[in-house]
Amino acid sequence: MMNIALPKGRLGEKVYQILEEAGYACPSIREENRKLVFENPETGVRYFWVKPSDVAIYVERAAADIGIAGRDILLEYQPEVYELADLGVGKCRMCVAGKKGARESRNQTLRVATKFPKIAKSYYSALSRDIDIIKLHGSIELAPLLGLSDVIVDIVETGKTLLENDLEVKETIVPISARLIANKVSYKFNHEEITRLCRRVDGYLNKEAVR
């Protein structure tokens, strides 16, 4: 059985569809219930739903052979895993955003609210800019609105959250998409199965791209 960690939620459903089309179906996963583990001996896969930010941990620690994690999570936590493919879904970008029209003062330490302190630190350190990180866990957009921070470093997908809160993108740091990752030991010992899966996924994505 190949153990596959899927990110719970909309992205996970898209990713499952890709894997299903690539020949790794597991019909029971589509049943409406609260189970977390699903397997199909016929296709040799066992899927489990994992909180998106935890997928890399399951893969790094070999609880899963492979998994699908956003590039944001890989950049932030730098897990010891192999990155095998860009699935081209879950596309968004990591940005610096702040109040519309607001100009930051270069003389003061910039207060940056974020769920991604490592990404924010490395971005500003490359600019030799002193910052004060304010680590939050969600609704990051509130921080500049309430004066908790000057800017935020966060994910922008449609831009709707920023727009509806009178905020704007100041800089784009890096584009993000979902990546197929593998545990390093599993990759070595199940090389054939994992590369076969990659080939099939690739084949499906290429076929879709020319449609």
When asked if residue 117 is in the footprint of ligand PRP (CB under 6 A), the reply is no
Q: Of the ranges 15-23, 28-36, 155-163, 193-201, which one interacts with ligand PRP (CB under 6 A)? A: 155-163
When asked if residue 73 is in the footprint of ligand PRP (CB under 6 A), the reply is no
When asked if residue 160 is in the footprint of ligand PRP (CB under 6 A), the reply is yes
Closer by beta carbon to ligand PRP, 74 or else 205: 74
**What is the full DSSP assignment across 48-88?**
EEE-GGGHHHHHHTTSSSEEEEEHHHHHHH--SEEEEEE--
Q: Are 65 and 109 in contact (CB under 8 A)?
A: no
Q: Are 106 and 152 in contact (CB under 8 A)?
A: no
Which one-letter DSSP state was computed for residue 206?
H
Q: Are 56 and 144 in contact (CB under 8 A)?
A: no
Q: Of the ranges 29-37, 96-104, 151-159, 172-180, which one interacts with ligand PRP (CB under 6 A)? A: 151-159
Q: Are 80 and 18 in contact (CB under 8 A)?
A: no
Query: Minimal distance in Å, beta carbon 61 to ligand PRP?
Result: 24
Q: Of the ranges 30-38, 59-67, 139-147, 190-198, which one interacts with ligand PRP (CB under 6 A)? A: 139-147
Binding stretches for ligand PRP (CB under 6 A): 138-141, 154-161
